[in-house]
Chains A and B, each alone.
Chain A
Amino acid sequence: MSEVFSRVQAWSQRVAISVLLSPVLGFCDGHACSLAAESAGGVLVNIRTVRALDKIDEKINETTKATLSVDGRLRDLSAKLQKLHFRTFKLIASQREVLRFGHKETVALSDGNLVTLRPLSMENEKIGLWVRWQDGSGMEVIDTRMHFAPGESIITGVDASGDTGLILAIDVNPFSQKSPPIAEPVTSK
């Protein structure tokens, strides 16, 4: 009788342990494990702050709009910038950060602007990123979560004082220990 009881007790213990551990074991399965693996790496974020000047009337024709003055260090963005209603674009600052997946980082930009970034995932060749931009007055310029291809420049702009605008160009690339060393930040001329 005692043998049967001990067998039942051992079986119930095994069941209890497996039931208790199943969420833990399950958590390390598939997506969660890949997320955990990614957390060992991170992303290289490059934030370029651009001042847009010489606001033009939105009704102006394309030929007049063609006379653009874009900072040489923003050449890769010129095709996009010409869609905006400004004539002159100057790079104010550029900053690079290595962020780990799941970790939030707030970067202070000029004029009290704060950009909070949190890389979330790397799935289907896309980086998931949470971005929140708060300007100097406390206005929430943008708060979004998006997924995009690495190397893509996400451009967000806001009307600033007078006839100027402030633009953030955010580039995100996967970063590993094998990645080339981070270059010195670009500064304004």
Chain B
Amino acid sequence: MSDSKLRETLSFDDENMLMRYLDGESGFFERRAVEGLLKSNPAAQIFVDAQRRISQMANEYSKLLPQVDLWDRVSQRIQQEEHAAIFLGARAKQEPTGVWANFLRRISTPWSVGLSGAVALASALMVTLSPGVRGAGAVLGGVAQESSTSNVQTVALHGRPQLLEDDRSPNVVEVDWMRSDGRVRILHDPNERAPMIWVKRRTTSVAAPARLRSLAELALIKQPTPTFQAMSSIAATE
């Protein structure tokens, strides 16, 4: 009997049980059942051998890929996020809207959620301001990004993702996130290490709620130093 004919003698449940056995996820009784199945049914042994070969091939193939310890960096950043959350509180999650959001919701199986989460996290790591990047605005020395008019601004910059630890130059600015009530521009010059951030006001005021929110903080702020009081009066007379 050919291998494919033999495979047909295995039920779907048997295959699942054998997969769990190979992954080391079987319990005591299931291991005994698998051992019995392997002795009694040659198809089970063929199935197990085939799975082992595939696993071996996958391992060999993965050795050919460049070794990028991305997970180490991801875990490091998660740790940073946790520490930052202690001081800053949890990040507010903004629900996406539009066609893409509906599409993403539709494909939200557990696998896709895990995958998209990993991709999003990896993308967040890539938001670096590389000094070698020059944008389109020649007059202003290169505008790397001009955000849209949405309230929460995402600084998505044109830059080569810096994955490798050895590649990471200390002379770059990494931005985790950036928000503004205005329109944000990142002005960049390849000769300078840090970019400049310029904010343009919007024509309509959106700041009133922010002002109310900050009243509690105003009571806690540090009083201006005499120098600053003097400067304020100078500024007022200007």
Footprint of B on A, CB under 8 Å?
31-32, 35, 49, 51, 58-60, 62, 79-80, 83-85, 92-93, 95, 102, 104-111, 114, 116, 118, 120-121, 123-126, 128, 130, 134-135, 137-149, 152-159, 185, 187-188
The answer to whether A93 and B221 touch across the interface, beta carbons within 8 angstroms, is no
Q: How far, in Å, is A174 (CB) from chain B's closest CB?
A: 14
List CB contacts (< 8 Å) of B187-224 with chain A. 187, 189, 191-194, 196-201, 205-208, 210-212, 214, 217-218, 220-224
The answer to whether B184 and A106 touch across the interface, beta carbons within 8 angstroms, is no
Are A95 and B227 also in contact (CB < 8 A) when A110-B235, A138-B214, A142-B180 are? yes
Are A95 and B200 also in contact (CB < 8 A) when A80-B189, A138-B210, A148-B194 are? no
Q: How far, in Å, is A91 (CB) from chain B's closest CB?
A: 10
The answer to whether A158 and B201 touch across the interface, beta carbons within 8 angstroms, is yes
The answer to whether B194 and A110 touch across the interface, beta carbons within 8 angstroms, is no
Taken together as a complex, chains A and B put the C-alpha atoms of A156 and B180 apart, in Å, by 12
Taken together as a complex, chains A and B put the C-alpha atoms of A49 and B199 apart, in Å, by 15
Chain A residues closer than 8 Å to B220, beta-carbon distance: 106
Chain A residues closer than 8 Å to B174, beta-carbon distance: 126, 146-148
Q: How far, in Å, is A110 (CB) from chain B's closest CB?
A: 5
The answer to whether B225 and A185 touch across the interface, beta carbons within 8 angstroms, is yes
Interface string of B136-167 (1 = CB under 8 A from A): 00011100000000000000000000000000
List CB contacts (< 8 Å) of B166-192 with chain A. 168, 170-182, 184, 187, 189, 191-192
Chain A residues closer than 8 Å to B238, beta-carbon distance: 51
12 additional contacts (CB under 8 A) given A85-B139, A102-B87 = A49-B231, A95-B228, A118-B87, A124-B168, A130-B84, A134-B210, A139-B182, A142-B199, A145-B88, A146-B173, A149-B193, A157-B196
Taken together as a complex, chains A and B put the C-alpha atoms of A140 and B83 apart, in Å, by 24
The 8 Å CB contact of A140, one of B175, B207, B227, is: B207
- Interface: B79 (CB within 8 A): yes
- Interface: B80 (CB within 8 A): yes
Q: How far, in Å, is A97 (CB) from chain B's closest CB?
A: 9
The answer to whether A58 and B235 touch across the interface, beta carbons within 8 angstroms, is no
The answer to whether B211 and A138 touch across the interface, beta carbons within 8 angstroms, is yes
- Interface: B107 (CB within 8 A): no
A-B contact pairs, 27 of them (CB 8 A): A31-B76, A31-B80, A58-B139, A60-B139, A62-B139, A83-B140, A84-B198, A85-B139, A108-B221, A110-B232, A110-B235, A111-B235, A114-B221, A125-B170, A128-B80, A128-B84, A130-B88, A139-B181, A140-B180, A140-B210, A142-B178, A143-B178, A143-B179, A143-B180, A145-B175, A147-B173, A159-B200
The answer to whether B214 and A134 touch across the interface, beta carbons within 8 angstroms, is yes
Taken together as a complex, chains A and B put the C-alpha atoms of A93 and B233 apart, in Å, by 12
Are A152 and B175 also in contact (CB < 8 A) when A58-B139, A139-B201, A139-B205 are? no
The 8 Å CB contact of A121, one of B80, B179, B218, is: B80
Chain B residues closer than 8 Å to A104, beta-carbon distance: 87
The answer to whether B196 and A83 touch across the interface, beta carbons within 8 angstroms, is yes
The answer to whether B177 and A145 touch across the interface, beta carbons within 8 angstroms, is yes
The answer to whether A139 and B207 touch across the interface, beta carbons within 8 angstroms, is yes
Are A144 and B175 also in contact (CB < 8 A) when A83-B140, A139-B210, A154-B194 are? yes
Chain A residues closer than 8 Å to B170, beta-carbon distance: 124-126, 149
- Interface: B234 (CB within 8 A): yes
* Nearest opposing residue in chain A for B128, CB measure: A147
Interface string of B77-101 (1 = CB under 8 A from A): 0011001100110000000000000
- Interface: B230 (CB within 8 A): yes
Are A59 and B228 also in contact (CB < 8 A) when A125-B170, A138-B211, A139-B182 are? no
